[in-house]
Structure formats: C-alpha cells, structure tokens
Structure 1
Amino acid sequence: MRHLLAAALLAILTAFSLPAAAQQARYLISADPMTDTPPGVQAWRVQYWTINGSGTRFAVTGIVAAPREAIPPRPRRVIAWTHGAWGVAEKCAPSISPNFFNATAGIDAVRSGYVVVAPDYIGLGNPTMHPMLVGPDTANAVLDAVRAAREIPGAAAGNSFAVWGESQGGHAALWTAISARSYAPDLRLVATAAAAPPTDLAANLREGSDKNARALLLSFTLHSWSTLYGFSMDGVANRTNQGIIHRLAQNNCVSFDKKPKLGTILGILTIVRATKNKDIAKIEPFGSFARANSVDAARVPGPLLIAQSSKDTIVAPAVTRKFAKAVCRRGTGIRWIDMSGDHGASARDSAVETIAWIGARFDGQSPPNDCRRI
C-alpha cells in the first residue's frame, strides 16, 4: 500500500512540475458518437482545447466525421471544413444544429474517404464572445480541431490535412494556411481551398450589393469586436442604433431556409439607413482592426484554390478577384473556379472540382495555375 501511495504522490507532483506545453499535449476533451448521421458516415460531437491570439485557453466544440468502415492500415487524409457565417451567439454553433449535415458542403468529402473536421470556432457552442473574422483566433481553433481529431481512434485521422472553407470560412481557411506552419508544425498542410472568401474586410463589408445582408453581417462584426475589445461604436451609430446592432447579433443566427422575423427585418432596415454612408475603414479603431485581420496576399502559401461566383451579392466578386491577382503577383499559382450561383451555394457549387483538386494535391500532383485568366 505504501508503494501505491508513493507512486500516486509522485504522479501528482510530476504533473504539477511538467511544463505547460507538456500538460496540454492532449487536445481532445470528449468525443460523443452521433446517431443521426448520413449513410456511410460516422461522426462525433467533440469538445477540445484551443487558445486565442492572446494565449487565453478555451474549451470549444465541433464535429469530426469519417467513413463508416474498417480502420485503414494507414491514417486517413483530413479536410478541415471551415464554415461560413452562422451568427455570433453561442446558440448559432453549427454542431448543435439539426441541419448540420445538410448545410455542410464539406461532408461530401467523407464519401471520398476523408476525415472531415468541422470546428465551431471560439464562442459558438461555448460561453464566450465569438471573434467574428478575427484571423489568428479562428486559425488556432481550426488547427487544434485537426489535432484533436487524431485522438479519436475510430476516425484514424492523420497529420496531413487540407483546409476548405466557405464565406466567413473562406477567410478562416486562408488564415489557417497563414498560421499552420508556425502554430502547428506537427501538422502538414497540403492544400487550401476558399469559396467566396472575405479578404479585404472593410471592402467586403462595404461593397456587397445585398445591403440587407451587409447590414446584418456588419452588426455581427461590430457586436463581436466591441464586446471583445471594448471598441466604441459612437463613430458608427447613435446609442439607440447601437442597441439594435447588439440585439440583432445576440438574437439571430443565419438561416437560408427560414424567413426572418418582423423584428429582425425592421432592425436590419434601421441599420441599413444608419450605416448608409459609413465606411468602417475610416472609423477607428475598427479600420485598423479590419486591416489587421484582412488576408495578406503575400502570406498565403500554395497550393491554393479560390471559387467565386460572378453574381455573389454578399462577397463582392471584384474584391476576391483583386486579392487573387495580388496572390498571383507574389508568384503563388491559383486554381480559379468561376461560378454564377448565389453566395450561399458557393461551396456546394464548386464541391466536385474542389474535392478532386484536393485529392490531386494529396497525391503529389503538380497544381494547375489559372493566374493568366483571373
């Protein structure tokens, strides 16, 4: 008995003396099997550890999906699916939505043998403010989700991964590519795909032709940044309209299959009028923060795929094309996919080509370069 007590005491003392990095080597907190999955798909609702750009630790959530078949002799290829805007409230987490599988284009990759890791990001599904369009925070959550997936035996996830995102998730995918080597050197990023990605945040919030969607997304962003960082909205709207901005963000999640409530419609119309001639690029500290979290074309590594609809009313096609040209000027080739559908279908409309392109990158094939026709 004395030997057992001594061993237990030694284990406790060793744990307290370990460096913080060693104590946090495990990322997965829990993985609960899901029963309501598509045919041929097994999935887990996961909780895992991540940190934001300031080093604060958070327990966050997501879903890991894999083929429902015997574990292969080699680890499976991984795609990190980075979702578009669902909102900024805790209740807006994709992983708790009954519509998750229908609304998640990335799940299509499971049928091709991939493990799909779908993080909620910080603040969705967990009780803290979601850092909307904050690049480093989001990238960390994505990379740590890939790490956590490796700890689920049934997933058989490997260290090599691609990242693929839509809309807000396109921004997340590009930032994940920027951060991967420095933040997660234990992982190997093989490809990055972004459908309708916000890149120049101020321009995207200013130039989308759907003024109502633009007002709602601006409300999400202003609420997030002012709550997290204490930014004053006095330069954007009066106190009454600031209250409307906060309520729109707190009470609404994005849904493409439901009509908004009357109060939401009236709130959006009010913010459309209140911000008609406002450009956050010229309103500090929002302008500086938007520039800091825009995507620097010089920092995005290849191989890179961008899919953009010429009829997108939310992410202005001209802004995306300008970004792509800047990437090309830096010498990084791009696979460019032109589409003509609406914004909400960007990833679904380009899914077949994107999954095939990702597969070719895993296979080691030379990536195509469409820079001459962008």
Structure 2
Amino acid sequence: MRLARLLTCMLTGAAVAGTALVAPPAAAAAPSLCQSSDEDIYTAPQTITGDPGDLLACRQTSLPLIPGVKMKAWKIKYVSTDVRGDKIAVSGFVAIPDKAWTRGGSRPTVAFSPGTLGSGSQCALSKQMAGAQVDSYEAGNLRKFLEAGFAIAASDGVGYMNGQVHTYTVGLNAGHAILDAVRAARQIPGGSLTADGKVGLAGYSEGGFNTLWAAQLASSYAPELNVVGAAAGGVPGDLKLVAERLNGGPFAGFLADAVVGLSAAYPQMPFDELLNDRGRRAVQEVKSNCLFGTLGAFAFRKLEDFTTDRLTLPRIYALAGPDGTTWGEIIDAQKLGVGIGTPASGAPYKIGFPVLQYRGLLEEIIPHEAEDGTRRRYCQAGITTQWRLYVGEHLTTDWLAAGDVTDWLGDRFAGKRATGNC
C-alpha cells in the first residue's frame, strides 16, 4: 500500500473512546497555582480550548518510588491531539531536581514514555510513581535521569482519563502526547524549565515505540522544541510481526491490550460486532487490569477464541471500515521507520537528531525481525543511528541499558557529536 494512503488512514481515525459521565466546565487559561485535585487531573473536560501542550491542571506531588533524590514533582493534565487531529486531555507528571543545573545552558528535559503498564485507569504511570503502585518497573530508570540533573516530563499516554481506555500502540496519539508533555512542563507555576532547554526522548518496549513516533513527529508537530536525541529500546516496530508472535503465546496479553487500544482509537472500524460472549468479557478484563493481571488472564489464548467466526489475524486485517480502509492498513500505518528521512529530504517525517536503538540478545517477547527491521529502516533513511545489544531478555534489558541511555542523552545535552554504527 502506498505511503500516502497509510498517512491518510492515520489522520482520519476517530477520537479516543469515552469520557467521564460528569465533567468540569470547559478548560480555559492555564492554572495560576498547582492546587487541582486528583479527580480534576484525571477527568477530561467536556470541551477543550487552548493549543497542544497547554497546561490544563496541575498538582504538586511526591514520587515515593524514587527515594533519595531531592526534587519537586507535579501531576499534570494538558492538551494534546488524537489521530484525527481533535484536541484531547492527557495526564502525566513532571519532576525537576532541586540541585542546580551547572553544566551550561538551561536544564534539559527527558521526555519519557514508560513500557507497558496495562490499560486500566489505575495503571497510569503518574499514579503509580506518586505511590499508587501496581505493576510499575520504571523507577530505577527515572532515578538515573534525575541523579544526572535532567528534568523529566513523563506522559501517561492517551486514554488514562476517567472513563477512557488507553490507546495502546497508536503512533500518532503516543507521539503527540510525549511532545505535548514537554510543552506543558514549561508552563507549571513555580516550575523552572525554560523554552530553550534541550530535549531528549526516551522509552523502552511500548515506550520505545512511542519514543520513535515522537522522534518522527517532532519536526512537524513541535518544531520549537530543541530535540537533540532519542533513545528507544525493545521496539515493537512492526505490529504484524509482533502480533503473529504473541497470538496464542505466553505474552498474548500484550496483543489483547493492542486490540482493545486500537479499537478505542478507531471506533469506526469493525470490532464489537465481531466478538462472542467470551470476547466481550475479555474487553472488560483488558480495561480493568494492569500489566501482570492482563498477562495472566490471556496467557496462551488465541484471538480466534474471542470472535464469533474464529477470525484469524489475516482475516481481521482484511476487514474494512465505512470508508474502505482496512484493519491491515491501519496496523501497517503504525509501522516505524516508514516515510522517514533527514531534514534535507522530502520525507513526511524528518529527523534531524541522532537515535540510539537497542534490544536484548535473549529477547523473548518481540521478534528480533521487528526490532532489527526498525533499525535497518532508520539506517537506510540516513538517520545517525547507534545500535546496541545487551545480554538480557526483554525486561532485564530495560534495566541493563539504563545507565548507557542516561550517558548517551547526557552527551547529546552536552553537544557532543553522535556516531552511528549502521
């Protein structure tokens, strides 16, 4: 399918499903004080005004899962845009070390996207890091950034507002939300981040997917941000390859999250009518569980078991929506490294900064072909790409790479020249 059609189907998808039944008045000016309630932070306004990245609400908080680092932290709600270009509200958090930044220029910010945490509203990273721990495992990575003196602007991702569902593995939603979190971080009353601060993008697994989408969108969606590098590991860069591996396997819960998340982002596509009773119960399980609950509920289950006609993945890909766009085309539109190029190219997605990509040699969840293929497409596009391998499986590779990711971003913030090893 031609690139133009891929981009078109992404831009014509519908908005994230569901908002809270009771919502506050339309959002207006940015808050003058960070005194919003938790209920307000996680409730989407009925009408959203303002520009992408505008701060809608904030609340000072602590991050007890990151002990030993003196900092100021805030939960935030801000404006972003969905796959259709409509304004939406997204939650997240910002953390700024108390120790002064003394290495020249303004303090840099790491725009962070977490690995998969689950689709239930209680799974949001900002809630877990503030003490409502469920399945979060990213505290060590975040601590390294803060100990290095970097600020953090972390997006929960689209769909963690009350009454919504996380739009897992939807590239435009994810990339927009990450970039807008940086914009919002600079508007916090009492915050100290400035518009000239350098920005690094970082994430692993789902967060790596989200990070590379933010990298691909940065020059067109947020050209005012000085993004100097993106570090992404364990990247599920080709969802069809990943789905084939996950279906019926021990980690089929990730596929369940993706199916429900994609249906939330593209509600015009066939979905509810395909489900049998078991499938309808499965959707509710996805919406209510975090990571390990979902993995336990769907281990070794096949997608076919949840549909009335025992639909296989190829048959699902062939199903079309009202405008003729198929599920296969929508899935292909999430593929990373398609339509990318250097700033001098005519590519739709221009990347003018280096990228670090990495994976584990013992990776057991994402096919090597999906990760290696993403790296290959970046290299072929002329993007300066550093590629690293770690002696770990999926989760431990996230931790094994944390120090190197921090150092690599630190070099980018210091203005050091990056080298690739394509």
**TM-score category of the 2 structures, normalised to the smaller one:** 0.7 to 0.9
1:161 partner letter: V
Match of 2:121 in 1: 90
| Aligned-partner Cα distance in 1 for 2:137–2:287 | 24
Match of 1:294 in 2: 335
Displacement of 1:241 in angstroms is 3.6
Displacement of 1:342 in angstroms is 2.2
C-alpha deviations, 1:184-231, integer Å up to 9, x for none?
112111001101011111111213598121x21111121222244233
The counterpart of 1:278, out of the listed 309, 312, 319, is 312
Q: Is structure 2 residue 142 aligned with structure 1 residue 106? A: yes
Match of 2:93 in 1: 63
The counterpart of 1:252, out of the listed 273, 285, 289, is 289
The counterpart of 2:67, out of the listed 38, 51, 64, is 38
The counterpart of 2:270, out of the listed 225, 232, 255, is 232
Q: Tell me the secondary structure at the aligned position of residue 211 of structure 1.
A: coil
Displacement of 1:266 in angstroms is 5.5
Stretches of structure 1 that go unaligned for 5 or more consecutive residues are 1-14, 16-20
Stretches of structure 2 that go unaligned for 5 or more consecutive residues are 1-28, 30-47, 320-325, 342-350
| Aligned-partner Cα distance in 1 for 2:401–2:248 | 22
The counterpart of 1:76, out of the listed 92, 99, 107, is 107
The counterpart of 1:313, out of the listed 364, 375, 388, is 364
User: Greater shift after overlay, 289-298 or 24-33?
Assistant: 24-33
Are 1:210 and 1:313, in contact at CA under 8 Å, matched by a contact in 2? no
Are 1:91 and 1:125, in contact at CA under 8 Å, matched by a contact in 2? no
| Aligned-partner Cα distance in 2 for 1:345–1:303 | 24
Match of 2:218 in 1: 180
C-alpha deviations, 1:10-53, integer Å up to 9, x for none?
xxxxx9xxxxx995487112332223352223221112121213
Displacement of 1:119 in angstroms is 0.7
CA gap of 1:210–1:159, structure 2 versus 1, over 3 A, is farther
Are 1:110 and 1:116, in contact at CA under 8 Å, matched by a contact in 2? yes
Are 1:45 and 1:64, in contact at CA under 8 Å, matched by a contact in 2? yes
1:45 partner letter: K
Q: Is structure 2 residue 374 aligned with structure 1 residue 326? A: no
Displacement of 1:298 in angstroms is 4.4
Match of 2:84 in 1: 54
Match of 1:28 in 2: 55
| Aligned-partner Cα distance in 1 for 2:408–2:313 | 37
Q: Tell me the secondary structure at the aligned position of residue 347 of structure 1.
A: helix
C-alpha deviations, 1:260-317, integer Å up to 9, x for none?
49xx746544436738993358443321111011112441624010110121111112
Are 1:95 and 1:120, in contact at CA under 8 Å, matched by a contact in 2? yes
Match of 1:145 in 2: 181
CA gap of 1:271–1:24, structure 2 versus 1, over 3 A, is same
CA gap of 1:25–1:121, structure 2 versus 1, over 3 A, is closer
Give the aligned length.
Answer: 345
Are 1:30 and 1:47, in contact at CA under 8 Å, matched by a contact in 2? yes
Structure with the higher fraction of residues in helix conformation: 1
Root mean square deviation, CA, Å: 3.0
Match of 1:11 in 2: none
C-alpha deviations, 1:46-105, integer Å up to 9, x for none?
121212132322222111111123476842101111111112232221111134885332
| Aligned-partner Cα distance in 1 for 2:406–2:247 | 29
